Amino acid sequence: MAHAAPVVLHAIGAITALLAAASAIVFAMTRLRPEKDYAELVRRTRSWWFLVALFAATLLANDTLAVVFMGFLSFLALKEFFTIIPYRRVDRRILFWAYLSIPIQFYWIATGWYTMFIIFIPVYIFFLVAGRMVLTGETEGFLKTTATVQWVLMITVFSIGHAAYLFTLPPLPGFEAGGRGLLLYMALVVQLNDVAQYVWGKTFGRRKILPSVSPGKTWGGFLGGLGTSICLSLLIAPLLTPMNFGWSLLVGACLASLGFLGDVTISAVKRDLGVKDTGTIIPGHGGIMDRIDSLTFTAPLFFHAMWYLYY
């Protein structure tokens, strides 16, 4: 726990208390109305306990272990995509290099080598994937396979890597939470935005935003989530980040908006592939990507905003 500032420990305690209260409410609902089926809600609540415990353990670990865990998360996300994406036998020859990019990319992160971190995937690995595909001698489907692997690497390795890089950012004068505080802030705003969009959408949602992509997304849910995220950002940013009121307002709005885009982008991918979820590893939530889809768009933006403004 020496790796986490007191404010981060207090935030973890508050999250645990809120989850305990939510679990008590779910338990009461199952007892008071036994005729209703709350199995899905119960599974989701249990999964949240596991996810929160895992996230808390990562925040409390030292920098190296935290980055290793994020690398493993990236591996699981990449594996999920390669499981649901159809590919030919010849395409397998480039999957090895895609997987190999993970330990190398997260080594740059662990050592704090920003320059290599920022160019390794979108320059060297992209060229390597295209070059290795050419060497197979197969031209049919070349563009589709190469572009698919490159895009999947961007969202599962490069994007998640930005969240991992936050662990390497040190505390600043007057800002003791450091990179762990930044990661906790981003995760809270983005995840609550997902929950708030669902609740507001179920309560006031009427007009659908993208019915052909994600029929459950409504303008009521999006605007409700946006307002909730901004309020949360203004509330916790002074505790977990060095941002002032203006930046807290702007970043909170950007995280909510980009989180929505990340969510519907993965929804479009799943519809294109004809699958409901990217996996089944998290009961009630689907796969890893189903849970972190919003972070694929928000993590790079948030990291570079903090890097530019304060580091």
Tens-digit pLDDT profile for residues 100-124: 999 999 999 999 999 999 999 999 9
DSSP per-residue string spanning 231-272: HHHHHHHHHHSS--HHHHHHHHHHHHHHHHHHHHHHHHHHHH
Residue 16: alpha-carbon gap to chain centroid: 20
Question: Residue 209: how many CB atoms within 10 A of its CB?
Answer: 18
For the cut 60, the answer to whether the pLDDT of residue 2 exceeds it is: no
Cα 207 to Cα 32: distance, rounded to the nearest angstrom: 33
Q: What is the pLDDT of residue 111?
A: 94
The answer to whether 49 touches 26, Cβ cutoff 8 Å, is no
User: Which is higher by pLDDT, 56 or 32?
Assistant: 56
Residue with tokens 């409901």: 276
For the cut 60, the answer to whether the pLDDT of residue 1 exceeds it is: no
Q: Tell me the pLDDT of the chain averaged across its residues.
A: 90
The mean pLDDT value for 258-273 works out to 91
Q: Against a cut of 0.85, is the pTM above it?
A: yes
Q: What is the pLDDT of residue 140?
A: 85
Top-confidence range, 18-27, 91-100, 159-168 = 159-168
Q: What is the pLDDT of residue 238?
A: 94
Top-confidence range, 22-26, 82-86, 183-187, 276-280 = 183-187
User: Which is higher by pLDDT, 127 or 199?
Assistant: 127
The mean pLDDT value for 256-276 works out to 91
User: Which is higher by pLDDT, 32 or 284?
Assistant: 32
